[in-house]
Amino acid sequence: MSDTLKDVNERMRGLLARTSHGRDDFEDLVIVPLFAVVAALVIGALVMLATAVDLPTIGRSFVALAVGAFGSVNAISETLTASIPLVLAGLGLGLGFRAGLFNIGAEGQLIMGGLAAVIVGFTLTGLPWVIHLPLALLAGILVGAAYAAIAGILKATTGAHEVISTIMLNLISYELLNWLLRQPWIQREGRSDPISKSVPDTAQLPRLLTQLDPNLRLHAGILVMLLAVALIYWLLFKSKLGFAFRTSGENPSAANYAGMKAGLVIVLAMGVAGGLAGLAGASQITGVLGRASPGFSAGIGFDAIAVALLGRSHPIGILFAGILFGALEAGGRQMQVSAGVSIDLIGIIQALIIVFIAAPLLVRAIFPWGFQRKKGGAA
């Protein structure tokens, strides 16, 4: 018994030592993702060579990619606009990973949160924006959290694996969205296709750069995103609840021995993750789309998995990973137009990034000079 207590105490002290500074190892958080992106771009160029794309065209495509992502105010606006829902959903997934939960239901949670924001938007009329907009965003958070909590409750009470349950919940959300969009109280008047009524101006996130150009789409959701990054950082590394999440993810046995209620931790972690995904859907509806339609999520919930992995489940890493994926999306359109290279290449690059992130030892083997060799072992 004393040996068991000693082992648990040592594990708890080790966890505290690793996380008390509120950051991951620099190499794991920065160097590995950076080299993963470089390797993905190099292999992407090789793929283009293999498909009979000449070297000048490859060079022009990468230049167009950079220009389309950061080469102008409009490019930066599009990059940041695309990154907002990716970062918000990625924060939820990263929090789940930290808690030992592989929540891949962000897509469904995003859909439900966005649909809730639409309904609150067009049903509560006559309110000032200072009340209407927060209510729409809050509805997205609450519905997303409740939808994710279903998987958490199933896991805590029956042991149902969250991967299976969240996959099923994703499928349910697709069909539920299609059905609801055809209901007369949601469907837009005069339309036979499944599309919702529009969200009024009082429930829309205001655009920030209209004085420079009325066509710039960057909206106040970027402020919500930055606030969410700060809050999740504090939650994970500065609060007791965040410590419970991380302890459960690192060593469930130690967490149980320390008196942490595993079932409650699972439900809370899934709820917070779903709330962030729901906020991502609400921000996309109130900031960009203005209404809901089939497929409005555009796979953001699945892309957010890659963002969370690339960011190493750390809020700061997820922020930069989301901006990178937003840049790939915005720059990919410019690459297709300017260089004539298929935008499908961006999907290949994203997939390669995930492959390298999932195999950090491979990255260290390819770029051994980029890592400090530790005493008594390999890098």
Domain of 241 in residue numbering reads as 86-325
The answer to the question of residue 133 being in a domain is yes
**Residue pLDDT, tens place only, 264-323:** 888 999 999 999 999 999 999 999 999 999 989 989 999 999 899 888 889 999 999 999
Model confidence over 215-261: pLDDT tens digits? 899 999 999 999 999 999 999 999 988 888 888 777 666 666 666 77
Residue 371 domain-assigned (yes or no): no
Please check the confidence at residue 174 and state whether its pLDDT lies above 80: yes
φ/ψ (deg, to 5) at 219: -125, 180
Residue 75 lies in a domain: no
For the chain, percent of residues with pLDDT exceeding 90: 48
In a domain, 310, yes or no: yes
Condensed to tens digits (0 to 9), the pLDDT of residues 310-349 reads 888 899 999 999 998 999 888 888 887 777 777 777 788 8
Residue 15, domain member (yes or no): no
- φ/ψ of 234, rounded to 5, equals -65, -45
The pTM of the full predicted model, rounded to 2 decimals, is 0.86
Whether residue 42 is predicted with pLDDT greater than 50 in this model: the reply is: yes
Q: Strand pairing partners for 187?
A: 196
Give the residues across from 207 on adjacent strands.
219
pLDDT, tens digit (0-9, with 9 covering 90-100), for 57-71:
888 888 888 888 888
What dihedral angle (degrees, nearest 10) is formed by the CA atoms of 321, 327, 332, 337? 180
Closest CA relative to residue 170, chosen from 290, 304, 289, 265: 304
23: pLDDT strictly greater than 80: no
The answer as to whether 68 is a domain residue is no
Whether 39 has a pLDDT exceeding 90, the answer reads no
Instruction: Tell me if 8 is assigned to some domain.
Output: no
Helix axes 300-310, 106-123, angle to 10 degrees: 130
- CA–CA separation, 302 and 297 (whole Å): 10
Total domains in the chain come to 1
Residue 313 maps to a domain: yes
